[in-house]
Structure 1
Amino acid sequence: MEIIETMKNISSIENCYGCGVCGAVCGKRIIKLRLNADGFYEPFITDQNICSHCGLCVECCAYVHQERSGNQNEVKSYAAWSKQKEIRQKCSSGGIAYELGKQLLEQGYKACGVRYNVQMQRAEHFIATTPQEYIQSIGSKYIQSYTLEAFQAINRKERYFVTGTPCQIDSFRRYIKKFSVEDHFVLLDFFCHGVPSIHVWTKYLKEIEKKTGKIQYVSWRNKTTEGFDVQNGGEDQKRIKWTESYRICIQGERKGYIAEKVQKDHFYTLFLSNICLGRACYEKCKYKYLSSAADIRIGDLWGKTYQENEEGVNALLTFTAKGQEIVAGLKNCVIDSQTLAVVTEGQLKKNLSTPLLRRKAMVLLKQEGTDLKKVIYLANKWNQIKAIKYYVLHPFLMWCRIKRKMKQ
């Protein structure tokens, strides 16, 4: 008997995906989300005495099931972008997620996407009923989103476009399958790197607020400096190449701040080091490459084919007949059929391994007053360890590296 068949509820689940679907399906409304010690969302039951042990929360939990919930048809792959320059400029890559949401909203759907709540300093799912409201979803958010209130507000009798991480979408697919309402929903996920601990983000913001004052606005992957008073006297608008847009624009009460990956920004350094992701983002992730429960998957289209493009291109995959039909009907967009090799170039194909120094990094992050530089030191140390292991296993490459050094 599988362990899920013996589970009455999610009370014993820890370090899961934190998708919040268990809270949405609970008829008693006794499942909530809270941050665990490592800074990741985790469900808990507020009153075990009220639980009816219906098992719905476990049935809809992607974390406890080995298989994915989606039934993929033939996968079709595209390069895609919005024809509207202002949309493409505001979005992290090609603007396709917004264009999909906008078109479905105009067809009578509601859209459940992610925005950044500056008051609560968190990313959160919300429900938009108009394209204007849905503008809040534009742009990448490189932190875990809080889903519970938005998912609970969804009316299964209505039509929705729901976006999220692959694990969130997998659980959500289980949810709508359970109630036989899949026809009411269009699901979109994206190529996911993993989510870092919220402790990284909160400590990072404290660093920035010393320079800017209380933070009023945050934008990841921003392609322009428009509207940011960086030097107290203002800065001329400057457009950034899409391929160079790993930057965060923050506006504070006193002035703005722009951080770039190439300048070894603390947040991007830790995010890309993989040392502080959720436990489930490593071995428990089932969603790399083409593994998805969504109708549509998007991402940045990296690689050689569009490397000269300065405005942004989306990788776009369809997994179901519904997804293909919606993409085929997209207006105001360029949809360019490409091979999977082109569309998935630069995306993770396999799971990340858990770094040996992750636990030490988490201990540092939880300590009050810890400087992020100490955690970055651990991340750099882990990269050195990986390099040594790699060259031990590949002595010929080590010999080549030594020879290059000697020539220099």
Structure 2
Amino acid sequence: MNENVRFKGEPAFSILTKEKCTGCFGCENSCKFKAIKMTLSQEGFYFPEIDTERCIKCGKCALNCPVLNFKSHNFGENYVKVYASFSRDDKVRFESSSGGIFTEMAQEIIEAGGIVFGAAWEKDLSVKHLQIKDRKGLSKLRSSKYIQSNLEGIYLEVVKAAETEGKKVLFTGTPCQAAALRTFTNSENLLIVDVLCHGVPSKVVFDEYIKYISNNDEVVSYNFRDKANGWSKYGVKAKMGNGKIYKCITRKDPFFHGFICDLYSNLSCYDCKFASIPRVGDVTIGDFWKAPQEIMDERGVSVVIANNHRGEKFLEKLYSKNKIDLHPRKLSEALKGNSRICNGFLNMRKNREEILKTVKKRGFIYIAENYINKTKRYVLDK
């Protein structure tokens, strides 16, 4: 596979290096000639392959690449409205990664006859964006999935729903995915919610880790953010086909520890241009880590940022309907526990390439013992 992808045509001609490509599927969605296919690289990240026989060099793919052609039109730091927030429905709050804000936003769209697009687990523990039209289906999109999502054709489905069909649409995804979607449409019917993202770890490493914790048995469900012990003490939980369950506090789980220590993230995540203010979505959501004592709650607290008038109006609507609590906070408070709000830099570990070349040959336990366990940084160290 080529290290770089070359987008040709008028009015754009660009070369996107492997270090910059986010795997957002913007180029794949743009090509009506089906000349672009997203495949997992040997390192375990989506990367475009271009069929030169199908390609007519129109340049549309470059125009829908957010790395090459996106600039946020949201307001800057002097505008953003920052809140500590949570659902007033305790069941929703407990079943969510943090404060349950996504679910409340999604339910509002569903009740208006709209469609929600978000990431869901597949049976093989890959992640794929789906469209959901009823409240029952929202459970598939709830909770964090830290693996890259497959968005084949999804941006086109969003455009169809919001522009052609005139429906209310909510799309949630990582900042690079949100930026890619914005190159396709700025419909007033569309609300884009970008999640605070630390980056995405290698699917190759994740698959080897799953083999390790399951002893090669089938894993029927996996949760990165089980809150049985509380929001700040969350853990991973996997259920096997034979009924066995793997549970581990997140900071002690080897895969999550290696991920949060930046051992095997996508190259573009180490210098993310979308982890900045102004943000790319109408609303930004995440965990309010290191929340002030007066709002700290083990049921979960979200940091919510209104990045423009559209986002602010939607949040105020939920608040007026008594669906969510909104506590205005300073941006500086949110940054204490989540620097990725406006800082896309991560420290790339010197062993990253070696790990990704070795893991399939030696297995996850070798990676854990020789690289992950030797890192000194503790996950979510309070």
Category of TM-score, reference length = shorter chain: 0.7 to 0.9
Gaps of 5+ in 2: 1-5, 378-382
Give 1:100's match in structure 2, choosing from 86, 94, 105.
105
Instruction: Please give the alpha-carbon distance, in whole angstroms, between the structure 2 residues aligned to 1:52 and 1:369.
Output: 43
Aligned to 1:124: 128
Aligned to 1:244: 233
Deviation at 1:383, TM superposition (A): 5.1
TM-score, length of structure 1 as denominator length: 0.81
1:173 aligns with 2:182: yes
Aligned to 1:71: 74
Instruction: Please give the alpha-carbon distance, in whole angstroms, between the structure 1 residues aligned to 2:34 and 2:279.
Output: 28
* 8 A contact 1:296–1:318 mirrored in 2: yes
Which structure shows the higher helix fraction? 1
- Listed as ranges, the matches of 1:367-406 within 5 Å are 367-375=360-368, 377-379=370-372, 381=374
Amino acid at match of 1:193: H
1:147 aligns with 2:151: yes
Greater C-alpha Rg: 1
Aligned to 2:314: 326
- What do the CA deviations read for 1:8-61 (whole angstroms, capped 9, x no partner)? 67886535100002111212233221101110011122x322222221110110
* 8 A contact 2:18–2:267 mirrored in 1: no
Deviation at 1:308, TM superposition (A): 4.1
- What do the CA deviations read for 1:91-129 (whole angstroms, capped 9, x no partner)? 010000111111012123211011111x22211110001
Amino acid at match of 1:280: S
Gaps of 5+ in 1: 225-239, 385-408
- What do the CA deviations read for 1:318-361 (whole angstroms, capped 9, x no partner)? 11110011011013111111111223321125311322221112
After superposition, the Cα gap between the structure-2 partners of 1:305 and 1:13, relative to the gap in structure 1 and judged at 3 Å, is same
Amino acid at match of 2:258: L
- SS of residue paired to 1:316: strand
Give 2:327's match in structure 1, choosing from 333, 336, 345.
336
Aligned to 2:29: 24
Instruction: Please give the alpha-carbon distance, in whole angstroms, between the structure 1 residues aligned to 2:373 and 2:238.
Output: 26
Q: Which runs of structure 1 show a deviation greater than 4 angstroms over 4 or more consecutive aligned residues? A: 3-13, 379-384
Instruction: Please give the alpha-carbon distance, in whole angstroms, between the structure 1 residues aligned to 2:67 and 2:375.
Output: 28
1:133 aligns with 2:137: yes
* 8 A contact 2:254–2:372 mirrored in 1: no
* 8 A contact 1:87–1:95 mirrored in 2: yes
Q: RMSD over aligned Cα, in angstroms?
A: 2.4
- What do the CA deviations read for 1:232-262 (whole angstroms, capped 9, x no partner)? xxxxxxxx211111x1111112222212224
Instruction: Please give the alpha-carbon distance, in whole angstroms, between the structure 1 residues aligned to 2:274 and 2:213.
Output: 33
Give 1:39's match in structure 2, choosing from 41, 44, 50.
44
Aligned to 1:260: 249
Aligned to 1:157: 164
- What do the CA deviations read for 1:53-73 (whole angstroms, capped 9, x no partner)? 2211101101234x6333326
After superposition, the Cα gap between the structure-2 partners of 1:251 and 1:5, relative to the gap in structure 1 and judged at 3 Å, is closer
* 8 A contact 1:261–1:268 mirrored in 2: yes
1:273 aligns with 2:266: no
After TM superposition, the structure 1 stretch with the greater mean CA deviation from structure 2, 193-202 or 154-163, is 154-163
After TM superposition, the structure 1 stretch with the greater mean CA deviation from structure 2, 352-361 or 293-302, is 352-361
Give 2:270's match in structure 1, choosing from 282, 287, 299.
282
After TM superposition, the structure 1 stretch with the greater mean CA deviation from structure 2, 146-155 or 320-329, is 146-155
Percent of matched pairs sharing the same residue? 26
Aligned to 1:387: none
Instruction: Please give the alpha-carbon distance, in whole angstroms, between the structure 2 residues aligned to 1:250 and 1:353.
Output: 29
Aligned to 2:117: 112
Deviation at 1:174, TM superposition (A): 1.2
After superposition, the Cα gap between the structure-2 partners of 1:304 and 1:164, relative to the gap in structure 1 and judged at 3 Å, is closer
The total of aligned residue pairs comes to 355
Aligned to 2:52: 48
Instruction: Please give the alpha-carbon distance, in whole angstroms, between the structure 1 residues aligned to 2:241 and 2:286.
Output: 33
- What do the CA deviations read for 1:176-208 (whole angstroms, capped 9, x no partner)? 1xxxx4223110112110100001210111012
